[in-house]
Amino acid sequence: LDEEMARDPNVFVLGEDVGHYGGSYKVTKDLYRKYGEMRLLDTPICENSFTGLAIGAAITGLRPVVEGMNMGFLLLAFNQIANNAGMLRYMSGGNFKVPIVIRGPGGVGRQLGAEHSQRLEAYFQAVPGLKIVACSTPYNAKGLLKSAIRDDNPVLFFEHVLLYNVKGEVPEEEYLLPLNKAEVVRSGSDVTLLTYSRMRYHVLKAVDTLVAQEIDPEVIDLISLKPLDMETIAASVRKTHRVVIVEEDVKTGGIGAELTARIMEELFDELDAPVVRLASQDIPTPYNGTLEAATIVQPEDIVAAVERLLYA
């Protein structure tokens, strides 16, 4: 954010407590000292209004970055995101561009309760005109965010509340990453594991166990949830012929549901077994820590699913 604000004076950030407080997870800490209060704009607690303000700013030439203090709050701005951000470029015949990024923390944290444990990626996946990205590492978070800010279309940029403490190598030189590409995290030949966001790390824990059992899984971090990178996915399925999808979203109508349908439509003849979906249970996330953990996919669940797929 700092680099893009320095590079382009049209980039500004708005949201609740993004200025003086530095953001609920300190993503914008002290940036208001450098860029002033009008480029780090503290808003009232009124998501529909400030998201609408940002969309208006975008179509008149600015590049707003909206922070949802918690992505669950953006349900209050669903109309603005769907009916305005997603559609204005189409409805204007291309006369308006809508270069807006809507970013912030989501996912199941640690005892944040149901209303603060929302996973909204599937809510927005059906909205035409949006790009949806889920970062998972420091490296891809930076490269993807810079690309999202420079894109002329609305981008929903999902961060996970439990990944802010993840550390990793980030090049000092500038780099950009494509918004429409998956990442092959590990090459393998026995089964394709498709995942994104925090579940990348649960999958990698499961992989350690699977490799010890002489199973060779391929791991793909989807990153782009809309559009899906079917080229990378197809190349993997043609190699392994088996697929397990691991997501933190709920199973009904989730990203995995759409992905399964696409695989069945486009790659059915490549499959040696039905696609397996592992997802959160279809209930509001409990506050109780033990119950909360029981509602989402754990590494041992992934191991068991792969074993059933290969040996059943």
- Report the CATH number that the domain containing residue 35 is assigned in CATH: 3.40.50.970
Domain membership of residue 178 (yes or no) is no
pLDDT tens, residue by residue, 193-216 = 999 999 999 999 999 999 999 999
- pLDDT > 90: what percent of the chain? 95
Q: How many structural domains comprise the chain?
A: 2
User: How many other CB atoms are found less than 10 A from the CB of residue 111?
Assistant: 14
Which residues are identified as catalytic?
A: 47, 116
Domain membership of residue 174 (yes or no) is no
**Residue 156: its pLDDT value, please?**
97
Choose the final residue of a domain: 125, 160, 195: 160
CA distance 292 to 112: 10
**Residue 165: its pLDDT value, please?**
93
Q: What SS3 state is found at 48?
A: helix
pLDDT tens, residue by residue, 243-298 = 999 999 999 999 999 999 999 999 999 999 999 999 999 999 999 999 999 999 99
Residue-averaged pLDDT of the chain: 96
**Residue 232: its pLDDT value, please?**
98
Residue 38 tokens read as 């009008």
**Residue 11: its pLDDT value, please?**
98
pLDDT-derived band at 58 (thresholds 50, 70, 90) equals: very high
Q: Is the pLDDT of residue 174 over 90?
A: yes
Domain membership of residue 80 (yes or no) is yes
pLDDT-derived band at 29 (thresholds 50, 70, 90) equals: very high
| pTM of the predicted protein model | 0.95
Co-location of 152 and 192 in the same domain: no
Q: How many residues does the chain have?
A: 312
pLDDT tens, residue by residue, 72-93 = 899 999 999 999 999 999 999 9
Strands 224-226 and 243-250: unpaired
User: What range defines the domain where residue 238 resides?
Assistant: 183-311
User: What average pLDDT score do residues 177-197 get?
Assistant: 98
CA distance 183 to 80: 31
Strands 276-280 and 40-42: unpaired
Co-location of 126 and 197 in the same domain: no
Residue 68 tokens read as 């949802």
CA distance 56 to 15: 15
**Residue 312: its pLDDT value, please?**
75
User: How many other CB atoms are found less than 10 A from the CB of residue 205?
Assistant: 13
Look-up of token digits 């609740």: 16
**Residue 199: its pLDDT value, please?**
97
Residue 240 tokens read as 């392994």
